[in-house]
Amino acid sequence: MKVLFTTLRRRFIGSPLRPPALNSLFNLFCPRKYEAERAWRLSSSSILGPDLPDIWKHPSSAPPTLPSHSTNQGCDDLNPTIINGKIIAEEIRTGIAAEIRQMKDATGKIPGLAVVLVGKRRDSQSYVRHKIKDCEEVGINSFLDELPEDCPQDDVVNAVSNFNKDPSVHGILVQLPLPKHMDEEKVLNTISLEKDVDGFHPLNVGNLAIRGREPLFIPCAAKACIELLLRSGVELVGKNVVVIGRSRVVGLPTSLLLQRHHATVSVVHAHSKDPDRIAREADIVISAAGVPNLVRRNWLKRGAVVIDVGTSPVEDPSSEHGYCLTGDVCYEEAFQLVSAITPVPGGVGPVTVAMLLSNTLDSAKRAFGLS
């Protein structure tokens, strides 16, 4: 009987065209197993969940209604600290410049950073200008490849590939966002792992997620958030931290890096229910949703520390560039009850660029055998 079952199974298990007369015999020897396999295949295809875009509702301009039990009243005794990212970034750049001078004396070489800019978004152009300026300040060679917004994706991939092959380039940055007709994932995956100073390569993110492993590079904005907190003397171990936004650029790597520091991390996104209630429980709020003034006073508890990563361009005819950068957090309301907060601009942004320079320096050290 065992031999008969084995023979039948080998013959018919994978055959889509069994003779009808054998169906009852096949089902007798293989009870429900194949129905379970079909169900497993269906469940496997959906286990990662639906791919839903994070579209936040635009916040109301009306004053927020505080819950009746809120402890956010009577905050006049607080003297909030403004976490000055410009000063911290300057300290970091000074250290980087000193190391680059030592590198040049020892090897006759200096690091190189290449930037690929597609299109003429005003905010992207502004970010790139600042990055190039900071490169010059610390002694890093900068290379800029500007492409028109309507260029084919292959042009961007080719630009990245050329920088991959250039030994004088130790870091490659593709300024995001890219035009809608391009696949950001494909373009970013073109960047060599050894030159992925933005830290977006899947291997870098995967190693960041696993304790005991060390990524080649930590994403710059996430690294900047932690740097600001640590240099401001904010304790992270055991603290309740809410990260608002889950992008691959900021939210995801920041939440992973916070777990490395043993914080208790919650992530709020556009599909979260009662995000204000969740955020109000946090000792530290890091907002990276990219929605101007999303976080109002009723999102914060008294004494919280706020890191505002949001930098949304808002039209302002009185500004030199025709727009101003506005954060996710309504600064005037938050300032009334927090213990520390980063301004926008002048908070996370300068330190993020400094972390980019730091990652580029680290890449050059590896290339020159100085690690």
**329-363 pLDDT, tens digit each:** 999 999 999 999 999 999 999 999 999 999 999 99
Query: pLDDT tier at 76 (50, 70, 90 boundaries)?
Result: low
How many distinct structural domains can be found in the chain?
1
Domain, as residue range, for 187: 81-85+109-365
Q: 317: cis peptide before it, omega within 30°?
A: no
Confirm whether 11 is domain-assigned: no
Q: Is 325 helix (H, G, I), strand (E, B) or coil?
A: strand
Q: Are 289 and 310 in contact, with CB atoms under 8 Å apart?
A: yes
Mean pLDDT of 126-145: 95
Confirm whether 330 is domain-assigned: yes
pTM of structure: 0.81
Confirm whether 31 is domain-assigned: no
Confirm whether 65 is domain-assigned: no
pLDDT in the model for residue 11 = 47
Confirm whether 123 is domain-assigned: yes
Confirm whether 310 is domain-assigned: yes
CA distance 317 to 4: 85
Mean pLDDT of 300-316: 93
Higher pLDDT among residues 367 and 40, named by residue: 367
Mean pLDDT of 119-142: 92
Percentage above 70 pLDDT, the chain: 82
* 73 counts as catalytic: no
Confirm whether 343 is domain-assigned: yes
Among residues 134, 145, 175, 223, which one is catalytic?
Answer: 175
Mean pLDDT of 236-253: 96
Among residues 134, 198, 283, 362, which one is catalytic?
Answer: 198
* 133 counts as catalytic: no
Confirm whether 194 is domain-assigned: yes
pLDDT one-digit tens code per residue, 259-307 = 999 999 999 999 999 999 999 999 999 999 999 999 999 999 999 999 9
CA distance 94 to 351: 13
CA 226, chain centre distance (Å): 13
The pLDDT of residue 205 is above 80: yes
Q: Is 4 helix (H, G, I), strand (E, B) or coil?
A: helix
Query: pLDDT tier at 53 (50, 70, 90 boundaries)?
Result: confident
Token digits of residue 296 = 């109002």
pLDDT in the model for residue 75 = 47
* 336 counts as catalytic: no
CA distance 20 to 13: 14
Mean pLDDT over the full length of the chain: 87
CATH of the domain at 325: 3.40.50.720
